[in-house]
Amino acid sequence: MLHLASRSPRRSELLARLGLAFGTLDLDIPEQQGDGEPAFDYVRRVAREKAGAGLLRVAGVAGAVVLGADTEVVLDDVVFGKPADATEAAAMLRRLSGRSHQVITAVSVVSAACEAQAVVVSQVEVEALSDAAIARYLDSGEWRGKAGAYAIQGCFEAHVERLSGSHSGVMGLPLHATAGLLRQFGLLP
């Protein structure tokens, strides 16, 4: 049985697109970058920790497979996590305005016998945002709980000039890479 170690409705929606039955695990894994920890390593570590904690939760289930993922927005080697409030969200959006940034998504899949991981890096270029555009976006509320203070699958997509990489990865679960991992575990043909 496949288990998704995530409370994210987006990840559940994306994983469901692969046509697999799965359960979800509600875990509270700290998402804090270590001092001097590179962004790439941080995202990989958090995804692995989510999957590992999930596997511990379902250790008594025969054949359990757990998928954990983490997505972060990175600009100039600075990780833009989930903003605490609208002021922090506005500051993030101002820094992303008119620039290209990375979105790093790591996916870890673990079972009692095996572990595999994939990392997908996408480049997202945001148009120059006026203060009025930022205020309108903040009023939408979409920024809440989103790395980098935006959701590409919502109204913010109108501000994305270019995307190179995985659209579903920017949303939180790169489907092509995830399908490849699940094939390794015999969950997809």
pLDDT category of residue 152 using cuts at 50, 70 and 90: very high
Q: Which helix (H) or strand (E) holds 73?
A: strand 65-75
Which domains are assigned to the chain? Answer: 2-184 (3.90.950.10)
C-alpha 107 chain-centroid distance? 9
pTM across the whole model: 0.94
d(CA 44, CA 57): 20
Closest by alpha carbon to 57, among 114, 101, 1, 17?
Answer: 1
> What percent of the chain has pLDDT above 70?
100
> Mean pLDDT over residues 1-28, rounded?
95
Asked whether the predicted pLDDT for residue 153 surpasses 90, the reply is yes
> Mean pLDDT over residues 124-150, rounded?
97
pLDDT (0 to 100) of residue 120: 98
> Mean pLDDT over residues 148-171, rounded?
97
pLDDT by residue (tens digit) across 91-121? 999 999 999 999 999 999 999 999 999 999 9
Q: Which of 35, 70, 85, 139 is catalytic?
A: 70
Helices (H), the chain: 9-16, 39-57, 86-96, 131-140, 167-171, 175-184
Reply yes or no on whether 35 is catalytic: no
Asked whether the predicted pLDDT for residue 7 surpasses 90, the reply is no
